[in-house]
Structure 1
């Protein structure tokens, strides 16, 4: 360890070291082994009250092991995300390391969102506080507040962004984290897993919207909260009047597949919705579920829709590219690895992949969703 320094230089930030480590899903012991250091030394450098600066050689070793630029470790504190405010659907099957890594991605998303907010005028949050409301009623209330009425929702991500929700993506190598959401400084965030089908990603987005409006100041953990969020998502995407208007005397799975495109939902979601609206007998429901399973719809959505992408991010990255700031330059400016940004900004790499100059004279621009 080197001695403490007080020469005006930026100091090594232990919180950033911890963030990079959990993003790479390494334990302290595993990181120490990769670096060839003792676990005790690595633990000391992660302590907020560490009195010593690591040597340049140690910082270089951290950068190599974690695949983060050295400059990342010398930035300001990254906004921490309180795990108690984050909704995870499959807690029993999700490893702790995956949960921590996802929350770390949330912290990076907040950092990126704050960068964008200093350069663009973006929609402000317009989410009603519906804590304590019944799911079906809450879904109808949000539709009315947002002027959707009974119409089918063309694009859930665009709709969320229009009303001030910050939407980012996860490219985690785990299917156990469908999505998660949280409030940070009165700003709502949703993170969606890119491993999901287009239909299931839409449902996940609506499910997380439920947590944001139903459980903002309460406990987002537990089966009750998850059931409420599922019921909200189902009602939000498939208004009861529209679904019940469908006349199906003899329901078949082929008819379900034809109808699901009306609401851009999965076949499974539509079958469950029809059962909950008393449109199916228990025998019909079980029969349709067996057919869905036999045809592979329980694990996927054959011939499904394309996964939704962000419109606001696309517009912002196009504007930045016009000022010479492509994904590579953004990575350098934020001192965040390119792979992390590519994951958070799913689908925009083609727009922002360039190597032009690094001009940062971009004036504040107003972005409006059409």
Structure 2
């Protein structure tokens, strides 16, 4: 039986308005609206055509009813700079990812979530608590994605069409999810991952609406900096009035961007305001604002690799696509950059 919510989900996944889908499909906007509002069901010929235009299988429209994630439950990095269409496309893609996550959960035993809620603490203290509880000490975190997955966070890629969103996170049924843009440098991906963990730790009680705004983003940034570059660890390196060469060596040690390292030194009052600004200008001239020369290799997912290359689950990508009634390319779009996509 036709499920109207599925048509809306597939349309939003492609970032299409009803008007645009009408232009592509040749079906009137009014007719499409009546389909989505369950006023009457489309004939099979129309379903087949719509499936082709929306890159799903016709059976996708017959799966159980599902609602797109509501915006108020998600913490977005760049919501103010994002159009509603892009936001809705990202939420629709994430909704399909959740179905993929459900398939994974049905096949594999995954780590239970152990992300605490520390909304009464300031970001610096909260980051210290996480480091203590997770046994990290004051040393660099070797792999942020592996760390998150070990503590029950499900990590996925933001679909290429939705990269303007940058990164986002949310809880679903008390399970935390983080979506990353995997076309960034390895250092910036790590900071995004730590930033989203900050939202989960500081701005959520496991299911309520997620606060938005610059103040919350600043708190998540401060948390990420403190988690990746703990104060005690940085202070032990005698970085007061550090030269550019020392800053670059430190960013390699902590596996962060040169700009993030410089900003952290200013936060800890190890650089004067003049030195901070001067260093940022020099780094920008050297290409460090938009890239990370000599940087690290982007991190990958341990969980997804085990899922997709498990010898007991043959052709995992094909199985998942059959389950979701989408082409394998749709599955790959949610894991691109996190695992080899030849699975």
TM-score range with shorter-chain normalisation? Answer: over 0.9
Does 2:36 match 1:40? no
Alignment check: 8 A CA contact 2:55 2:326 kept: no
Distance 1:55 1:177 in 2: 36
Match for residue 303 of structure 2? 312
TM-score by length of 2: 0.94
Aligned pairs for 1:88-103 within 5 A = 88-103=76-91
Does 2:183 match 1:195? yes
Higher helix share: 2
Aligned pairs for 1:353-368 within 5 A = 353=343
Aligned-residue offset at 1:115: 1.0
Other structure's SS at 2:298 match? coil
Does 2:6 match 1:16? yes
Aligned-residue offset at 1:244: 1.2
Match for residue 257 of structure 2? 266
Aligned-residue offset at 1:85: 1.2
Alignment check: 8 A CA contact 1:166 1:188 kept: yes
Alignment check: 8 A CA contact 1:318 1:352 kept: no
Distance 2:219 2:101 in 1: 28
The number of residue pairs the alignment matches comes to 340
Distance 2:240 2:210 in 1: 42
Match for residue 328 of structure 2? 338
Q: 1:346 to 1:76 in 2, by over 3 A?
A: same
Alignment check: 8 A CA contact 2:244 2:279 kept: yes
Aligned with 1:136 (options 92, 108, 124): 124
Aligned pairs for 1:113-132 within 5 A = 113-132=101-120
Q: 1:265 to 1:99 in 2, by over 3 A?
A: same
Alignment check: 8 A CA contact 2:182 2:337 kept: no
Alignment check: 8 A CA contact 1:331 1:337 kept: yes
RMSD value, Cα: 1.7
Offset from partner CA, 1:262-291 (integer Å, 9 cap, x none): 111000100000000000001110110001
Aligned with 2:18 (options 28, 35, 38): 28
Q: 1:350 to 1:275 in 2, by over 3 A?
A: closer
Alignment check: 8 A CA contact 1:170 1:191 kept: yes
Aligned with 2:219 (options 228, 246, 260): 228
Distance 1:53 1:219 in 2: 36
- Name stretches of at least 5 consecutive residues in structure 1 with no aligned partner: 1-10, 354-370
Other structure's SS at 2:289 match? coil
Match for residue 316 of structure 2? 326
Moved over 6 A (4+): none
Distance 1:351 1:229 in 2: 31
Distance 2:76 2:341 in 1: 31
Greater shift in the superposed pair: 321-330 or 226-235: 321-330
Aligned-residue offset at 1:350: 4.3
Other structure's SS at 1:261 match? helix
Q: 1:103 to 1:267 in 2, by over 3 A?
A: same
Aligned-residue offset at 1:147: 1.4
Aligned with 2:134 (options 118, 142, 146): 146
